[in-house]
Amino acid sequence: MRFKILAILLTLALACSATAAGNFGVKGGGVLANLTGSDIEGGDTKFGFAGGVFMRAPIGKSGTMTMQPEVLYVMKGTQEEEQGVTVKLKFDYIEIPILVKFNLSTEGQFRPNLFVGPAVAFKMSSKASAEGVSVDIDDVKALDFGLSFGGGFDLAMASGSAITFDARYTVGLTNVPDVDPSPNVKNSALMFMLGYLF
């Protein structure tokens, strides 16, 4: 419960800070999630949703680098078909990436970029489901750390706002199972998100 409260407070703090700064945005899109590691056999990719808010702050005066913290709701997990039945592991997180963006162009309407940064995720729920039946999974860690990297672009508008797009891969750095010893099983997620920068 304390992790959920902290995640909600961080979400509110970022939203307030971004609104005050006037350089904030919203985004949403799809997630192709799976579990990887030497202690798990390959499952099938599970489709999910990601969305939330972000803000931007320049690093230096050139405009070629910016800091972009985000607060996202991200659906992760995996799925596997066993004897004709699809079993899904659903892990929902509040994820907070802190991205450093390298802006390849700061002029014109089309402005591509590359980015990288750490991400910390607070577990909101962890469930297993099959044939309409869902049960909670208790032995999933409350915190998940990862590294996000990818690229995207802004389509700048005359008003100063922009339409944004990014594609990223977040590789998990923390073993997901909350058991001792913890097996080598980590989250992985490929995300595609469309957003609007105010």
How do residues 54-96 score in pLDDT, each as one tens digit? 999 999 888 899 999 999 999 999 999 887 899 999 999 999 9
> What is the C-alpha end-to-end distance of the chain, expressed in Å?
33
pLDDT higher than threshold 60 for residue 1: no
* Per-residue pLDDT, 83: 79
State pLDDT tens for residues 129-138: 998 899 999 9
Higher pLDDT, 182 or 175: 175
Which DSSP state fits 77? E
- Positive or negative CA dihedral for 110, 161, 74, 79? negative
CB-CB neighbours of 40 under 10 Å: 16
* Per-residue pLDDT, 2: 60
CB-CB neighbours of 75 under 10 Å: 20
* Per-residue pLDDT, 4: 58
* Per-residue pLDDT, 14: 58
Confidence of residue 5 (pLDDT cuts 50, 70, 90): low
pLDDT higher than threshold 70 for residue 114: yes
Domains and CATH numbers, the chain: 2-197 (2.40.160.20)
Share of the chain above pLDDT 90, in %: 76
* pTM for the structure as a whole: 0.88
State pLDDT tens for residues 9-36: 665 565 555 555 558 999 999 999 999 9
Residue holding tokens 């802004």?
Answer: 154
